[in-house]
Amino acid sequence: MIRNHTLHDITNRNGELVCEYAIANDMFVASMFFQHKNIHKVTWISPDTLTLNQIDHVLVNNNKKQMIQVVRTLRGPNCDSDHFLVKVIVTQKLITTQKEFVKKLRWNISNLQNPEKFGAYNKRANDRLENQEEIQNVEQDRQNIKTAILEAAKETVQMQPRTTYNEWWDEECKEAIKEKNIARKKVSKEELGLPKKNRGKKTYSNKNL
C-alpha cells in the first residue's frame, strides 16, 4: 500500500485515514513509491517558509500500479497557491482506430443575408450544376453535386473569420505574468534553495502524512 519514500517518519489521524481508505479500496499511495530528494516530496510550505510538508498524495488502484512511472513535486509552475503542483507520469496503451478526419467548414452565414451575395451564390451554383455531364454512377454524381455547391459557396459565401476568445490577453498581461514568474522564482530559491544566511532552520513537519 505504501513505501518508505515519504517525507515523514510519523503521521497524524489524517494520514491514518488516507491509509485506511487505500486499504479498504485496494489502492496504493503512489506518491510514496518513488525515491526523490526531499525538496521533490514537499507539497506544502508554511507562510514563514520554515516548515515543509507532504500533505498532497496520489492514490491509484493496485491493478493499475504498473501504469505509474513517476510521482514528484514541481516547484516551478506558478499556481498562486502555497501548495506545489504534483506531477504524475502515466503509461497507458490505448486502442487506436483509423477514422477519416473531416474538417468542419464554418460558413459566413451573414453573407447570405446580403441579396447581392445570395444571388451570386445561386447563380454560381446553378451554372456549375448545369455544366456537369450526366453520369450513370449515382455516387460519383452525388460527389460532383457536392463539389459544385462547395466551390460556389467558397467563392461567394466564404468562410467565417476565426473568432478570438481572449481579446483581453494583451502585451500588458504578458508582461505582468512574466514579472510575476520572475519574482516567484526568486522567492522560491530563497524558500527551498541554498542561501540560508539570517534565516531560521527549515523543518520537515511530521504532523501530516
Question: pLDDT tens digit string along 177-203?
Answer: 888 888 877 776 665 554 444 445 555
Regarding predicted confidence, which is higher, 195 or 46? 46
Residue length of the chain: 209
The model carries a pTM of: 0.50
With b meaning 16 or more CB within 10 Å and e meaning fewer, what string describes 17-51?
Answer: ebeeebeeeebbbbbbbbeeeebbbbbbbeeebeb
φ/ψ of 61, rounded to 5, equals -60, 145
pLDDT in tens, 116-171: 888 888 888 888 888 877 777 888 888 888 888 888 888 888 887 776 666 777 88
Checking DSSP bridges between strand 27-29 and strand 44-45, what pairing results, if any?
unpaired
